[in-house]
Structure 1
Amino acid sequence: MMEPGVTAAQQIRQVLIFLAFLGGPSVLSETWNYSVAEEMETGSSIANIIKDMGVGDLTARGARVIFDDYQPYLRLELETGNLLLNKKLDREELCGTREPCILHFQVLLENPLQFFQAELLVEDINDHPPTFLEKLIFLNISEGATPGTSFQMDNAQDLDVGINGVQNYTISPNPYFYLKLKDGGKGRKYPELVLDGPLDREREPSVSLILTATDGGSLPRSATALIQVVVVDVNDNAPKFERTLYEVQVPENSPVDSLVIKVSATDLDTGMNGEISYSFSHVSRDVRKTFKIHPTSGEVHLKAPLDFEVIQSYTINVQAVDGGSLSGKSAIIVQVTDVNDNPPEIVFTSVISPIPENGLSEMVVAVFSVRDQDSGDNSRMMCSIPDNLPFLLKPTFKNFYTLVTESSLDRESRAEYNITITVTDLGTPRLTTQHTITVQVSDVNDNAPAFTQTSYTLFVQENNSPALHIGTISATDSDSGSNAHITYSLLPTHDPQLALSSLISINADNGQLFALRALDYEALQTFEFRVGATDQGLPALSSQALVRVLVLDANDNDPFVLYPTQNASAPCTELLPRAAEPGYLVTKVVAVDRDSGQNAWLSFQLLKATEPGLFTVWAHNGEVRTSRLLSERDAPKHRLLLLVKDNGDPPRSASVTLHVLVVDGFSQPYLPLPEVGQEPAQDEDALTLYLVIALASVSSLFFLSVLLFVGVRLCRRARAASLGGCSVPEAHFPGHLMDFSGRETLSQSYQYEVCLTGVSDTKDFQFLKPVSPDHQVVTCVEENSTSMNGFGYN
């Protein structure tokens, strides 16, 4: 609760200031004063800071209460804003005799960072009675003492303060003494026993008195001590100290038994009355625990270690008593000087870890306070962190600091920082305290996956087995956690002719690529597609890479012979003049291979011949040439079996049969052939059948070919069929089966056309010289009614 009856003078309200360091935390310098009676029950409500300080949601703002000595005296209810006692408070334990007993604390709000200063006054209650250190007090007084002489008595001790401390002393009724109170400063009162009438040792050698001390509580408490006054013979002179007040400074690190000061008193009497004894008089428990005095020499020594941080000064009352019981009084003021014997302390109020890597600069990482129990320069401190870190230290108020980021952090560069905070005081020697905190940097999805290559080239042998693993793409992500978890996918292709989903699949987890079906080089030599890598961040980031698949050719196609065509019912026959020179070109075998590369490199070989030594075949171009001159003994008809073989592994091959007819001259061909002469009727029937088949084929091509092109071809086929010769059927071969890079088997272009009639009996031939490839037609020449056979060689 707010302290009742607090006036404007009592409740100091300072000006609101902001220690703003580039947008740093705000600090309210207004001090909020609260009070609580000691020994109040735990859980008692003290105040409501939501109403008093005008703050909002305490839970969201991370509110907390911090005392200077870091003890949890109060507890803050975040839901209601009530400040509650966390435990019973004992004012005497917290503050001793210090008055007022004020506990300083701060209300810290973390989000955004804000401080409120407050004080808690612990009010004293009368929970302790006065006590006398000595229950029996002996006092020697000379019978010659004059009335009005005063004798100082030991005062009573009371742990309570103020009105609850000792307020009055009384003495039991007697005819010799009365009591007078003397002000000892700081609200303390000392009793003095004053002689009211003369003493007579012979009549009454001793007097017993009861001294009563009473406090000022609402229910007063009291204590008593017995004073035994002994009447002694006349002692003319009392001891007298050299000084009425001694002052001395003693360092707090002085060893036990070290000399503090020496007091000295003199007595003009002689004998026993001149013998002086020194002792403490009316001193506190702390003095008796800390110091001791030698009764004869008057030297005061340390009995226990000093601690400036606990007690800064002591007041020691000493007395010198002679043998006649007269005494002299003096006082010693012992000032304890501070020594830099306490290193600085660091107490962290809040440490935020991890912090996001994309956080703004000057984001609060930690809030801490420093303190040094020494005084003066010994308590002044410097706080620092290493220079090579992206953090700054900013003072807020009093000894509080905030550790903030200097700029945005990058987790991929550094994911953890060990920050050593060093606090050094300015004492001699300087004392240093270090504390290291570890700050983790949390990941933000600020890095897209990166492929190890911008493009990938994969090679796949055709005729592969389905689901074959053909390669792996890989991407990395510098982020962590789900932000670095990569999923791979096939991106839609822009080529409508490429059915990518039926060709390739990808493993979304590891980027493995698989061919879904067997690939055919002759149908698809290469294709491209793009793959994507997407992380699982929010928002998700992705990247792309190009994948190029090259289908490798396998030797899975046999060579195909274009010329001569293979027709068992109507074999093609080449004519060879008997007068041909060695090396004469008889014909050329033309073949292709749908494969590529060395699988399409063709070689030609003569396997079998009617006359083995008469013909040779050039291995690389398929040309069939004569190897010698023909003789009369050579057969007029020759059958050659040729092999066309590719260069694959293993090689594949095809065979072709070639008929060669030897003629004496083109004007008198050797016709009819032996087989034809034997069965002319049978050959004419077969020829008619083949003509019908050829016409049907031409008719089917009519609807697919250009009219002019088909017309020319039909003219040729009709003319060839009517003459009974052999013709070269034409067929369309896909462009990818042709090799236009110099791998053709014909080194020159040749065109042959034979015009024959099955019933012609003339033996005249006309030999036409080769024509250029530009001429597409060779005409047939007629003489009168006799047909001539024309051969055109190119």
Structure 2
Amino acid sequence: MEMLLPKAPQKRQVTAIIFLLLLWEVGSTTIKYSVLEEKDSGSFVANLEKDLGLDLGELAVRGAQVLSKGNKQFLQLEQKSGNLLLKEKLDREKLCGDTDPCLLPFQVLLKNPVQFIQGELQLQDINDYAPEFLENEILLKISESSRPGTRFPLKMAQDLDVGNNTVQSYIISTNSHFHLVTQDHNDGRKFPELVLDRALDREEQPEIRLTLTALDGGSPPSTGTSQVLILVLDINDNDPEFGQGLYKVQVPENSPVGSHVITVSASDLDTGTHGELSYSFFQPSSQVMQTFEIHTTTGEIRLKKLLDFEEIEYYHMEVEASDGGGLSGKCTVALEVVDVNDNAPELTLSLLISDIPENSPETVVAIFGISDPDSGDNGKMICSIQDHLPFFLKPTVENFYTLVTEGALDRESRAEYSITITVTDLGTPRLKTQHNITVQVSDVNDNAPTFTQTSYTLWVPENNSPALHIGTISATDRDSGTNAQVTYSLLLPPPPPPPRDPHPGFASLVSINADTGQLFALRALDYETLRAFEFRVGAADQGSPALSSEALVRVRVLDANDNAPFVLYPPHNASAPCTELLPRAADAGYLLTKVVAVDADAGQNAWLSYQLLKATEPGLFSVWAHNGEVRTARPLGERDAPRHSYRYEVCLMGGSSGASDFNLLKPIVPNLLPQTTGREVEENSSFRNSFDF
């Protein structure tokens, strides 16, 4: 995802050259400070809080930070006091060389809310260097034919200081032939020039020794000296002359050491030694001496050190051609270093917030600066990140950018992002730098626990043991940490208005484990008393504020075969006889009576069947298995006894789960005359009851 100002819909990119479009508030002016070089670390520069018009302590509250270009930090901020201090002792000559004024830009970053203020520190020169000549002795050859008033330039002294602290004047020791004047070089430096006052005579004085002194503008001035040896030569008529007074040349900065730069050429009309020329640099600076060499015979100039456009873009050097008779001529070589895209962009991270709350749209993730010391297109940059990420780049001040969330993030969808910031220059070939940032999305309690089911149905057998585990409910929370820690509870309904339900409240029937969601029966349940009940449970997380959800739990009590069948008719009375009348003329199938029984259980545990177990006259009576009707199986005969007893069984149809049997003995009464008999009842462990009639 690249970013171009303004933001494009497809690519999000920012070009470094359009830095004036500021998307955050930036101070309209630049704060400027000045400090002397070589001051101790911790020296006071200014009070930022006061100068920016901020309240006491506001710098600390807003997370103020001082930023410098690159990784070199020369200032530090005391947030509590608001004082801006030197982080280390600063050497103007190392930081700026001969550039004057020496300006060190910086930025003040206020993080909350984000605001940039441009700053500038001027490093003032102190007179900590004395003038120095590169040679202890300067050789000067002068023809005795030279006329008074002729000028002879001398080599200048070097002084790393600037302004008034650098070389301001030269003096020469007292003598009878020369006086000295101080001249201005075309680059602003001052150089000495001897002026001949009286004609020389080689036979009288073949050489003259003088002392040259350079003075800077300090108080008191610092000085440097060199000896001047003047050799008086025989008459030499013609000065050497260069074909060009100015040579211009362009040299790529990636030229190897030893590369040919240019060849200068001069001629002399004299013959013999007076016409033999030698070439040398005249008044060379230290940079020229370190970087170039000249062949004394051919005038060929070559590199003896690699060029660096980012350090020095232009060189001006004077070349002197001297003949054997002490005369010389000069030319100037103007060399331009051609920039080559040899520097990849640099990225300096000033602020990184690696944990971003998921519900914070347009949150600053990182603030960084980019730079490229190359020039032209080689120094223009494009800053980009990957496409399809919920982040974008915003420019702030010059070559500073912020990485911002495009909208609210969702940790549950993606908890981590790996963002690659790519800075590419526009040179040929293009060079780039990449920096990887990992952003963790921190959780916000924006998800309530969710039950795995909206309702649960639990089946519990009756007559259970207390504390029986009857089931488990479960809820999950998509959040993390304490926001995802779920606790469970029973949700008690408000008390109902009278008349109240006679059944006990569910709180006395069940309990819940708050951590696991396990449900337990507090006491034995009785199907015949309470067949079903329901209640609501809650799941709450530990976030702030806590979020919760509910679910419905239905409990169904399973019937157990714990009740014997109960005979409603004939009446169950052991002290009174039970008599049924049967006419002699009854045909087969005559309904004698009907046994009616019930069972408090349910389902198969309450399914009843009837059968004949025992009779005094087998085959005379039968019982219908499903309805308990007792009927004659055949017509009564004359020989049939007037009184009969039978045993019938009423049993459950639930199989091995348990059954109840009832035995009934019924009297057979002839001629419709009522007869009585005693009735006996017996029970056994399988719930069988016998009745004799």
Give the TM-score taking structure 2 as reference length.
Answer: 0.91
Structure 2 counterparts to residues 644-659 of structure 1, below 5 A: 644-648=650-654, 649-659=656-666
**Structure 1 residues 19 and 505: CA distance shift in structure 2, 3 A:** farther
Equivalent pair of 1:637/1:659 in contact (CA under 8 Å): no
**1:634: which partner in 2?**
640
Q: CA deviation at 1:257?
A: 1.1
SS at match of 2:582: strand
For residue 388 of structure 1, report the CA deviation from its aligned partner.
1.2
Task: Find the counterpart in structure 2 of residue 77 from structure 1.
Answer: 78
- Residue in 2 that maps onto 1:416: 416
- Higher helix proportion: 1
> How far apart are the structure 2 equivalents of 1:337 and 1:571?
135
Could you tell me which residue of structure 1 aligns to residue 458 of structure 2? 458
Secondary structure, in 3 states, of the residue corresponding to 1:577? Answer: coil
Cα gap change, 1:221 to 1:303, in 2 (>3 Å)? same
Which position in structure 1 is the counterpart of 2:468?
468
Question: CA-to-partner distance for each residue in 1:449-490, whole Å, 9 max, x for gaps?
Answer: 111111111111111111111111111112222111111111
Amino acid at match of 2:457: T
Partner of 1:662: 669
Deviations 1:132-191 (A, max 9, x none): 111122222223333322222111101111111011111111222222222113431111
SS at match of 1:660: coil
Residues 499-545 of structure 1: CA distance to partner in whole angstroms, max 9, x if unpaired?
11111111111211111111111111111111111111111111111
**Which whole-Å deviations, capped at 9, do the CAs of 1:69-127 have from their partners, x for residues lacking one?**
44221111111111111111111111011100011111111111111111111000001
Alignment of 1:617-766 (within 5 A): 617-648=623-654, 649-663=656-670, 665-666=671-672, 669=673
Q: Secondary structure at the match of 2:592?
A: strand
Which position in structure 2 is the counterpart of 1:508?
514
State how far apart, in whole Å, the 1-side matches of 2:649 and 2:516 are. 50
Please state if 1:307 is matched with 2:313.
Answer: no
- How far, CA to CA, are the matches of 1:316 and 1:670 in structure 2? 156
Alignment check: 8 A CA contact 1:162 1:187 kept = no
Matched with 2:264 is: 263
SS in 1 for 2:28: strand
Given that 1:645 and 1:651 are in contact with CA atoms closer than 8 Å, whether structure 2 keeps it comes out as no
Structure 1 Cα separation of the partners of residues 324 and 615 of structure 2: 164
Q: Find the aligned partners of 1:556 and 1:96 in 2 and give their Cα distance.
A: 107
**1:564-603 → structure 2 map (5 Å cutoff):** 564-603=570-609
What CA deviation, in whole Å up to 9, does each residue of 1:567-590 have, x standing for no partner? 232231222223221222221211
Count of matched residue positions in the alignment of Structure 1 and Structure 2: 652
Letter in 1 for 2:40: E
Native 8 Å contact 2:506 2:533 kept in 1: no
Whether contact under 8 Å (1:587, 1:625) holds in the other structure is yes
Once residues 303 and 471 of structure 1 are traced to their aligned partners in structure 2, the CA distance between those partners, rounded to angstroms, is 89
1:657 Cα deviation after fit? 2.7
Cα distance in structure 2, aligned partners of 1:212 and 1:19: 51
On the 8 A contact 1:153/1:191 being kept in 2, the answer is yes
Read off the aligned partner of 1:445 and give its amino acid letter. N
> What is the rounded CA distance, in whole Å, between the counterparts of 2:162 and 2:310 in structure 1?
21
Equivalent residues of 1:571, 1:659 under 8 A apart: no
Q: Deviations over 1:234-258 (max 9, x none)?
A: 2222211111121111111112111
Q: Is the 8 A contact 2:613 2:663 kept in 1?
A: no
Moved more, 437-446 or 125-134: 437-446
Q: Of 537, 546, 549, which aligns to 1:543?
A: 549
Q: Provide closer, same or farther for how the CA distance between residues 287 and 308 of structure 1 changes in structure 2, counting only shifts above 3 A.
A: same
2:428 corresponds to which residue? 428
For residue 429 of structure 1, report the CA deviation from its aligned partner.
2.1
SS in 1 for 2:61: helix
Counterpart contact for 2:141–2:231, Cα < 8 Å: yes
1:147 aligned onto 2:154: no
2: CA distance, partners of 1:102 / 1:319: 36
Corresponding residue of 1:240: 241
Aligned partners of 1:319 and 1:518: how far apart in 2?
Answer: 119
The one-letter amino acid of 1:467's match is A
SS in 2 for 1:637: coil
Partners of 1:433 and 1:116 in 2: how far apart?
Answer: 26
Which residue does the alignment assign to 1:166?
Answer: 167
Q: What amino acid is the match of 1:27?
A: V
CA distance in 2, matches of 1:237, 1:103: 52
Residues 593 and 340 of structure 1: is their aligned pair in 2 closer, same or farther, counting only changes over 3 Å? same
* Kept in 1: contact 2:21–2:395 (CA 8 A): no
Between 1:208-217 and 1:138-147, the stretch displaced more is 138-147
Amino acid at match of 1:655: F
Paired with 1:20 and 1:102, the residues of 2 have a C-alpha distance of 24
Number of the residue aligned with 1:48: 47
* Deviation for aligned residue 1:634: 2.8
Cα deviation 1:707-758 (Å, max 9, x = unaligned): xxxxxxxxxxxxxxxxxxx9xxxxxxxxxxxxxxxxxxxxxxxxxxxxxxxx
Tell me, yes or no, if the aligned pair for 2:579 and 2:674 is still in contact at 8 Å.
Answer: no
Shift of 1:374: 1.0
Decide whether aligned partners of structure 1 residues 229 and 670 sit closer, same or farther in structure 2, where only a CA change above 3 A counts: closer
Partners of 2:339 and 2:103 lie apart in 1 by 23
Q: Report if aligned partners of 2:70, 2:348 keep a CA contact under 8 Å in 1.
A: no
1:521 aligns to 2:527 (yes or no): yes
Q: After superposition, what is the alpha-carbon deviation per residue over 1:367-412, rounded to whole angstroms, capped at 9, x for unaligned?
A: 2221111112222222222331222222122112222222222222
C-alpha distance in 2, partners of 1:571/1:524? Answer: 38
- Once residues 319 and 647 of structure 1 are traced to their aligned partners in structure 2, the CA distance between those partners, rounded to angstroms, is 133
- Does the CA contact (< 8 Å) of 2:488 and 2:540 recur in 1? yes
Q: Conserved in 2, the CA contact under 8 Å of 1:131 and 1:157? A: yes
Aligned-partner SS, 1:121: strand
Secondary structure of 1:59's match? Answer: helix
Partners in 1 of 2:343 and 2:618 — Cα distance?
119
> 1:787: which partner in 2?
none
Amino acid at match of 1:621: N
What is the correspondence of 1:91-102 to structure 2 with a 5 Å cutoff?
91-102=92-103
Using the alignment, how far apart are the partners of 2:435 and 2:241 within structure 1?
58
- Could you tell me which residue of structure 1 aligns to residue 214 of structure 2? 213
**Which stretches in structure 2 are left out of the alignment for 5+ residues?**
1-18, 680-693
The alpha-carbon deviation at position 630 of structure 1 amounts to 2.5
Pairwise CA distance, 1:609: 1.6
Partner residue in 2 for 1:749: none
Question: Does the 8 A contact of 1:129 with 1:222 survive in 2?
Answer: yes
Which range moved further: 461-470 or 631-640?
631-640
Name the counterpart of 1:381. 381
Pair 1:158–1:670, CA change in 2 (3 A): closer
Q: Deviation per CA, 1:657-702, whole angstroms, max 9, x where unpaired?
A: 3231231x23xx265x5x79xxxxxxxxxxxxxxxxxxxxxxxxxx
* Equivalent position amino acid for 1:608 in 2: K
Residues in 1 aligned to 2:54 and 2:116: alpha-carbon distance in whole angstroms: 11
Partner amino acid, structure 1, of 2:30: T
CA contact (8 A) 1:19 1:25 kept: no
- Secondary structure at the aligned position of 1:524 is classed as coil
Larger deviation: 367-376 or 419-428? 419-428
2:357 is the counterpart of 1:356: yes
8 Å CA contact 1:257–1:301 kept in 2: the answer is yes
- Please report how far the alpha carbon of residue 597 of structure 1 lies from its aligned counterpart in structure 2 after TM superposition: 0.8
Whether 1:39 and 2:74 are equivalent positions in the alignment is no
Deviation at 1:39, TM superposition (A): 0.9
Bigger mean CA offset, 93-102 vs 620-629: 620-629
Q: Which residue of 2 aligns with 1:771?
A: none
How far has the Cα of 1:19 moved from its partner? Answer: 7.5
How far apart are the structure 2 equivalents of 1:610 and 1:152?
163
Structure 1 stretch 239-248 or stretch 636-645: which is displaced more? 636-645
Structure 2 residue identity aligned to 1:625: R
1:670, 1:556 → 2: CA distance? 39
Partner deviation per Cα, 1:215-251 (whole Å, 9 max, x = no partner): 1111211111111222233222221111112111111
